[in-house]
Amino acid sequence: MKKEELEKYINEGISLNQISKETCKSLTTIRYWVNKYDLKSNFVTFKDQVKTEYGETRFCPRCGKYVETKNFHQRRGKENGSSYCKPCTTDQTLERMRKLKSQMVEYKGGCCVRCGYNKYMGALEFHHLDPSEKDFNPSHLRKYKFDDRAKMELDKCVLVCSNCHREIHHELKQKEKETL
């Protein structure tokens, strides 16, 4: 990467992450060239960080703060080995989960098939039409990735609000009682 191009981005106040996206180069590559050219940005680079992994504090690149090491999760069998502090890790997880749910809700039409409710995405749920075909619960999708596997499972479901979902299960239990 050319020094002039990188300097232009940095002088405009663009973060290394944004530079990475705009140039279609990995964040690691951008960091490498920033360090190679000894460029200073408004954002802390790994070269500028004080390595205090086993000290009292560590730098969290997401929030840009030095945080007590006890506020980092264990990762890869290493105490306090997570890259981000616990609050930032939680925030990232919630963002990924909300994005995934938003994609799944949009895929299924965006509103309850029974009553048309669409005010709050958290109140929308997926109901399997045939429980015997259920491979997994879409709300427990662990990969946080909207892919063909998620779509195949969603095709077995209908999108309903939480009230209608309870009513559906109540109706199913009533039918089950009647057949006994």
Give the mean pLDDT per block of 10 residues along the chain (180 residues): 86 83 86 84 51 67 88 78 89 89 93 95 92 76 74 91 95 87
pLDDT of residue 111: 96
174/121 Cα distance (integer angstroms): 28
Predicted local distance difference test score (pLDDT) of residue 117: 96
pLDDT at 39: 80
CA distances from 116 to 36, 119, 170 (A): 56, 9, 20
Q: Tell me, what's the pLDDT at 52?
A: 41
Which residues fall within 8 angstroms of residue 180, CB to CB, at 6 or more apart? none
Please report, for the chain, the start and end positions of each structural domain, with discontinuous segments joined by +.
1-48, 49-84, 95-179
State the angle between helix axes of 3-11 and 16-23 in degrees (0 to 180), rounded to the nearest 10.
130
Instruction: Write the DSSP symbol of residue 72.
Output: B
| Spatial separation of the C-alpha atoms in residues 33 and 3, rounded to whole Å | 8
